[in-house]
Amino acid sequence: MTWWQALLLIGGGTVAGIINCLAGGGSMLTVPLLVVAGVPGNVANGSNRVGILTSNAASVSEFRRLGVGGFQHALPVLAPAAVGAAVGLFGISQLTNDEFERLFGLLMIPLIILAIRRPPVRTDGQAWSRLTVTIVFFCVGIYGGAIQAGVGLVMLAALSRAGFDLVTANSVKVMVTLVVTCIALPVFILQGKVDWVPAIVLAIGLTIGGWIGPRLSIKGGEKAIRALMVVCAIALAIRLLFFS
C-alpha cells in the first residue's frame, strides 16, 4: 500500500464515518476505496468491518458524553438484530453478493419514501408493537451481518417510523451497529477475509469520523439528518441496482 492510498483511506474513512453516524451508507465509499488500495473485493467487505467497529464505538462514547443516551432504547432491538446478523452471515454464503445487493437496491425505493415522509414524533418509541419491532430489526440484522453497506439507513428509517426523533435514533443506530459488527467481524477474521494493514489505516479515518459525527448530528438536528438520509438512500440504491 502506497502513501497516497493510505491518505485516501484515512480521508475517505473520515468522510464515511461522519456519513455513517449522521445517516448511513458510508460503506459504499469505503469498500471501493479498499479495492483501490489493492484489497480483493471478497476481502474488502470483511476488512471494512474493522473500521465500522471502531467508528461506532467512538460514536457511542461521544453520544453518551454529549448526553444523548440510546442504551435503554436500544435494548428491545439488540436481540433480534443480533440473531438476524448471525442468519445474515450464513445467508451471504448461499447468495452471491450481486444477488443480495440488487435485492437490497429494490428495497431502498420504499425506504426513500419512508425517509421523506416525516412520521409523528413520539419519545416513548412505542409507535410499533413489540412483535413488529422484533421482525423489523431481525431483518435489519440479516442485512447488517451479510453486507453492512446501507444498514444505518434502514435502521434510521425503522427507528423513525417507530416514533423516535432522528437525533435519538442516531444514537440507537450506532449502538445496534456496534453489536452487529461485534458478531460479524470475528467470522470474517476466521474466514481469512480481513487484510489488516489497509483495514487498520481505514479504521483510523472511520474512527475520526465516528467521533465527529455525533456533534454534527446534534447541531444539524432532524432537518439536516433527514435530507442526508434521502441523498444517501438514492445514491446507494443507484449503486446497488446498476453498478454491482
Contact 4, 12 (CB under 8 A): no
Question: In the structure, what pLDDT confidence band is assigned to residue 105 with cuts at 50, 70 and 90?
Answer: low
The cell for 11 is 480521508
Q: What local confidence, expressed as pLDDT, does residue 201 receive?
A: 97
Instruction: Identify the top-confidence range among 42-51, 100-109, 155-164, 212-221.
Output: 42-51
Residue found by looking up cell 448526553 in the block: 67
Confidence (pTM): 0.76
Q: Which three cell numbers stand for residue 205?
A: 479515518
**Residue 170 banded pLDDT, cuts 50, 70, 90:** confident
pLDDT at 113: 64
CA angle in degrees (0–180, nearest 5) for 111-115-120: 125
